[in-house]
Amino acid sequence: MSLSPEEIAFATELFSGLGQISTRRMMGGLCLYHEGTIFAIVHGDGSIWLKGAGAFIEVLEAEGCTRWTYTREGGKPTAMPYWSLPDAALDDPDQACDWARRSLAHL
């Protein structure tokens, strides 16, 4: 499933408070970059996932964010370094940018 122009606009506007955001389409989704660093992805279903690293992982998990996992060929589960954006941040660009800044601080 490919993202619509409206879904792409929503994601880039949500994080516009960070300043210059660049994007790159990948596998039906979208990668979001700030100053050349990927900090989030948008899946083909429109869900937004923040990149987690270091101590920020504990913060995401304490917030109840879920980790992106998928099953590879042969049934092997694989966890990716991305967690769901907290629901409250989906409707609040200030919160979304705060979460993105915290993500970027650990990358």
pLDDT single digits (tens) 38-80: 999 999 999 999 999 999 999 999 999 999 999 988 888 999 9
Domain extents in the chain:
5-105
pLDDT for residue 30: 96
The domain made up of 5-105 has a fold known as Yope Regulator; Chain: A, (3.30.1460)
**What is the four-CA torsion angle of 37, 42, 43, 48, rounded to 10 degrees?**
110
pLDDT in tens, 15-24: 999 999 999 9
**From CA 95, how far away is CA 101, in angstroms rounded?**
10
pLDDT for residue 1: 60
**From CA 50, how far away is CA 82, in angstroms rounded?**
5
Q: To which H or E segment does residue 10 belong?
A: helix 5-14
pLDDT for residue 28: 81
